[in-house]
């Protein structure tokens, strides 16, 4: 019995130290308002081209000044003010947090659209607060960035490191991005943060082939005519209070996974190429290309070259949200 208890204690200790969940970013019920990988159009007010959303948006209840907490033990790498895309930001390095994509140690977490950085909780965070105010003084609209030496400003999990805001010409909310050490890969924050388990419903209602749009109704299996080379686009979303994009979209032909879009990571070089995945989309209404010829880090399976277009195929799409819920629709691709 004693040996058994020792083993259980060891497992619990290991799970504590190696858990991937980061400390909650804010102390309120987490509500996602924008998902990783979503389409973002060209800004009307800012010189920012269309791009993937490289992080996750968190509601702050429509107010500014909500405390933002350090995700773990690490140090502040940089702060910036008046970035054309992110507004004001603070970036924290977590050297002891494993990168789940590469299995190397170390990730970076950036909080954007903040109102201010720092707090009165420690000498380091008070220093951060003073430097942030200094950057904003003098030229309150000019872009500035301060980079710190490693461990110059240390932070601990659960320590206040910023206050949420609406900087960058956006409504009040908190934007969170997670990057590798080289900032060459963006990682879905859902992998690290526990965003709860809200009620969701998945919308999978239309498919577009060429210029023709077809309804996809549950329990039906429509016959969709297609010519070789025509585009196939799927209309899908995850319904919360706001529509957000799915986590994963899969297309099966004859039970073989033929095409997959998976918003787990986005290479930095792909960040301004959402047209590789989205077709005729807006910031809240998404059409996903299901047979793109482009190469992209979120297109994780593309086996169209091996599809025989000389006959009809039983087809099925499966759409998955961040919480593992799925919705599927079946149809026949009738090649003409």
Q: Looking at the chain, which residues constitute the CATH 2.60.40.10 domain(s)?
A: 201-335
Which of 86, 90, 87, 62 is closest to 77 using CA atoms? 90
Question: What's the CATH code, domain 22-191?
Answer: 2.70.70.10
Q: What sign for the dihedral angle of Cα 325, 301, 22, 130?
A: negative
In the DSSP assignment, the letter for residue 310 is: T
- Note whether 237 and 244 are within 8 A (CB): yes
pLDDT of residue 47: 65
What integer best gives the mean pLDDT of the chain?
Answer: 91
pLDDT of residue 18: 41
Residues of the chain whose pLDDT is less than 70? 1-20, 43-47
The Cα–Cα gap between 68 and 46 comes to 26
Which of 244, 248, 193 is closest to 35 using CA atoms? 244
pLDDT of residue 309: 87
In the DSSP assignment, the letter for residue 7 is: H
Q: Looking at the chain, which residues constitute the CATH 2.70.70.10 domain(s)?
A: 22-191
pLDDT of residue 3: 43
- CATH class, domain 201-335, is mainly beta
Which of 148, 28, 156 is closest to 91 using CA atoms? 148
Taking only the tens place, the pLDDT of each residue in 283-299 is 999 999 999 887 799 99
pTM attached to this predicted model: 0.91
């Amino acid at each position: 019995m004693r040996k058994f208890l020792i083993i259980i204690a060891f497992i619990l200790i290991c799970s504590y130290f190696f858990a991937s969940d980061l400390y909650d970013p804010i102390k309120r019920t987490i509500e996602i308002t924008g998902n990783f990988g979503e389409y973002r159009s060209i800004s009307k007010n800012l010189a920012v081209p269309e791009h993937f959303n490289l992080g996750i948006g968190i509601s702050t209840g429509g107010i500014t000044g909500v405390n933002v907490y350090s995700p773990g033990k690490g140090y502040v790498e940089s702060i910036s003010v008046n970035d054309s895309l992110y507004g004001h930001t603070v970036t924290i390095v977590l050297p002891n947090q494993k990168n789940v994509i590469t299995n190397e140690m170390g990730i970076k977490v950036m909080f954007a659209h903040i109102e201010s950085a720092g707090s009165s909780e420690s000498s380091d965070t008070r220093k951060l607060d003073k430097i942030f105010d200094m950057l904003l003084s003098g030229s309150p609209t000019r872009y500035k960035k301060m980079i710190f030496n490693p461990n110059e400003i240390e932070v601990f999990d659960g320590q206040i490191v910023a206050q949420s805001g609406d900087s960058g010409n956006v409504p009040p909310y908190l934007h969170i991005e997670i990057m590798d050490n080289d900032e060459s890969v963006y990682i879905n924050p859902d992998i690290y943060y526990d965003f709860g388990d809200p009620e969701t419903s998945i919308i999978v209602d239309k498919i577009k082939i060429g210029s023709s749009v077809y309804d996809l109704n549950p329990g039906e299996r429509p016959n969709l005519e297609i010519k070789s080379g025509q585009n196939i686009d799927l209309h899908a979303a995850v319904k919360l209070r706001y529509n957000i994009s799915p986590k994963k979209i899969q297309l099966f032909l004859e039970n073989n996974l033929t095409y997959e879009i998976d918003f787990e990571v986005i290479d930095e070089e792909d960040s301004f190429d959402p047209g590789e995945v989205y077709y005729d989309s807006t910031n809240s209404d998404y059409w996903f290309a299901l047979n793109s010829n482009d190469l992209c880090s979120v297109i994780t399976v593309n086996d169209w070259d091996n599809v025989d277009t000389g006959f009809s195929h039983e087809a099925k799409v499966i759409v998955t949200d961040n919480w593992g819920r799925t919705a599927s629709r079946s149809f026949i691709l009738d090649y003409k």
